[in-house]
Amino acid sequence: MLSYVETESGRIYETESPELWAGPFLKGRRLSKAEGARRHAEQCADDLRQKLAAGDTVHSVLRHVSASGMSRRIDFYSLKGGVPIWLSGYMSGLLSYRVHKQGGLVVQGCGMDMGFHVVCGLSFKLFGAEKALRSEWI
């Protein structure tokens, strides 16, 4: 079961093993699920705002499509100076998508551009406007 832990530095982490954070090397206090989820989403939004500005392009990479076509795994990147910056982990915390163990956000649905859909949701959460970020496929 997923839990949230706050470290001494104030960072919030999702973990399936909160007992590991009570040892001598990792010190953290456990948060309630509601408070942890809220603060983790805020932290992810702050981290993303440091990596993205309005008008930037978010690149989508399709990793897998289910046999039924009803779900897919998509990774998201930004390019800064030609260097790809992985955004999927931060986007997972902010938009409540699950990160698959083999990579990519698990996105349910079909019949539309699901990469564009996720980037529009990200744009709205970060900047309050659906078209503040551009979406492109790689």
Mark whether 45 and 100 lie in a shared domain.
no
Mark whether 90 and 131 lie in a shared domain.
yes
Structure confidence by residue, pLDDT tens digits, 95-109: 999 999 999 999 999
Mark whether 110 and 125 lie in a shared domain.
yes
Mark whether 106 and 92 lie in a shared domain.
yes
Place of tokens 């603060």: 39
Mark whether 57 and 45 lie in a shared domain.
no
Tell me, what's the pLDDT at 108? 96
Q: Which residues of the chain have pLDDT under 50?
A: none
Mark whether 99 and 67 lie in a shared domain.
yes
pTM: 0.89
Domain count, the chain: 2
Mark whether 10 and 75 lie in a shared domain.
no
Mark whether 44 and 58 lie in a shared domain.
no
Mark whether 62 and 115 lie in a shared domain.
yes
Rounded to an integer, what distance in angstroms lies between the CA atom of residue 51 and that of residue 16? Answer: 27
Structure confidence by residue, pLDDT tens digits, 64-85: 999 999 999 999 999 999 999 9
Tell me, what's the pLDDT at 26? 79
Tell me, what's the pLDDT at 83? 96
Mark whether 14 and 43 lie in a shared domain.
yes
- For 75, the enclosing helix (H) or strand (E) is strand 71-80
- For 36, the enclosing helix (H) or strand (E) is helix 33-51
Tell me, what's the pLDDT at 70? 96
Domain that holds residue 128: 53-137
